[in-house]
Amino acid sequence: MMTDSQRLVLVGAGSFIARHVYDKAIAEGLAVIGVSHDADLGAVILPDDIVVNFGVTPSYMTAAYTEENDFDLRVARCAHAAKARFVAISTRKVYSAEHRWSATEPTGGTGDGSFYGANKAISERAIAELIGPKLLILRLSNIFGFEFRYAPQRCTFLSRMLSDLREKNSIFFDMAPQSQRDFLPVERCASMIIAAISRGLSGIYNVGCGFPIACGSVAQWVMEGFGGGRLVVSNHEIRDEFFLDMTKWRESGLPLNISPDELHSYCIALGRILRLA
């Protein structure tokens, strides 16, 4: 369990998800500090701290793995040297193609074919060897929210969708709208991250909604809230389908109460906010 003497240190605190984690920690009365990716961590981290890394080097996303571009490992080494706890924010992309549907934690490890997925899989192993059994790895699904102001810095499915809808009155798909994925609102993601840390979990846990939703439905719901728009599909191939099995999370005793109806309402709210942006 997280004690009153412990602080959360969020590295890469300006990122989309980290900002919501920071706000949630403050709301729960936790001691939290946010630092940039270039902070002197040796001067920041204390022995009782819980260090969570949200930072990443650009080359890590687009090139083969090297220790030099592994920012997760760099931060983990600083935490280890200070005898602090480390939480690694990973991704569903560590799951290979044959394990993406109802992905379970024991099946991850080789990546989805992207540089990012392969590199995260390598990072997970390197950090686990360094930190040992006290490490917590959280594999996130598609985390989304009102990302309009974050584009193009956060070039995700939802940030592109919101930007194109606001600026061009259209949403552009290069895949079949029937393609299904696991979507989780960023506010819910932040709550789950804080809950896992506060409970003192260790090991690997998925963080998602635990069921698939068609990408086309997400687009239609956002347009419903926006009050217009059109969906333009250039490729009708069903691709990159996945959802995360949340059995291990539920068995830990942590809550997960989200439904397709809640996602529907959330997407409509995003569209309404976008109309006013």
Q: Let me know if residue 245 belongs to a domain.
A: no
SS3 call for 53: strand
Do residues 193 and 263 share a domain?
no
Q: Let me know if residue 18 belongs to a domain.
A: yes
Average pLDDT over residues 247-263: 94
98: left (phi over 0), alpha (psi -120 to 50) or beta: alpha
Q: What does the pLDDT look like over 181-233, one tens digit per residue?
A: 999 999 999 999 999 999 999 999 999 999 999 999 999 999 999 999 999 99
Do residues 175 and 186 share a domain?
no
Do residues 87 and 136 share a domain?
yes
Given this model, what pLDDT does residue 150 score?
55
- How many domains, in total, are found in the chain? 2
Do residues 166 and 78 share a domain?
no
Q: Let me know if residue 222 belongs to a domain.
A: yes
191: left (phi over 0), alpha (psi -120 to 50) or beta: alpha
Percent of the chain with pLDDT over 70: 97
Q: Indicate whether 69 pLDDT > 80.
A: yes
Q: What does the pLDDT look like over 125-157, one tens digit per residue?
A: 999 999 998 899 999 999 999 988 654 455 788
Given this model, what pLDDT does residue 183 score?
98
Paired tokens of 219: 């687009």
Average pLDDT over residues 169-182: 97
Do residues 112 and 138 share a domain?
yes
Q: Let me know if residue 202 belongs to a domain.
A: yes
CB 210 within 8 A of CB 92: no
Average pLDDT over residues 229-247: 97
Q: Let me know if residue 168 belongs to a domain.
A: yes
Supply the DSSP string of 174-230, one letter for each residue.
Answer: SS-TT-EE-EEEHHHHHHHHHHHHHHT--EEEEES-SS-EEHHHHHHHHHHHHT--E
Given this model, what pLDDT does residue 4 score?
75
Given this model, what pLDDT does residue 149 score?
65
Q: Indicate whether 270 pLDDT > 60.
A: yes
Q: What does the pLDDT look like over 85-108, one tens digit per residue?
A: 999 999 999 999 899 999 999 987
CATH no. for residue 99?
3.40.50.720
104: containing domain: 7-142+182-207
Paired tokens of 241: 């389908």
Do residues 64 and 190 share a domain?
yes
If 0-12 CB within 10 Å is exposed, 13-18 middle and 19+ buried, where does residue 272 land?
middle
> Considering only 2-6, 73-77, 98-102, 244-248, which range has the smallest mean pLDDT?
2-6
Given this model, what pLDDT does residue 47 score?
95
Do residues 111 and 173 share a domain?
no
Q: For residue 5, what pLDDT band results from cuts at 50, 70 and 90?
A: confident
**What is the spatial distance between Cα 227 and Cα 166, in angstroms, rounded to a whole number?**
11
Q: Let me know if residue 11 belongs to a domain.
A: yes
Count of C-beta atoms within a 10 Å radius of residue 171: 25
Do residues 67 and 197 share a domain?
yes
Q: What does the pLDDT look like over 7-46, one tens digit per residue?
A: 999 999 999 999 999 999 999 999 999 999 899 999 999 9
Do residues 128 and 189 share a domain?
yes
Do residues 158 and 81 share a domain?
no
Do residues 151 and 21 share a domain?
no
Do residues 83 and 134 share a domain?
yes
SS3 call for 246: coil
Q: Let me know if residue 247 belongs to a domain.
A: no
Given this model, what pLDDT does residue 108 score?
77
Q: Let me know if residue 252 belongs to a domain.
A: no
Given this model, what pLDDT does residue 113 score?
92
Q: What does pTM read for this prediction?
A: 0.95
CATH no. for residue 157?
3.90.25
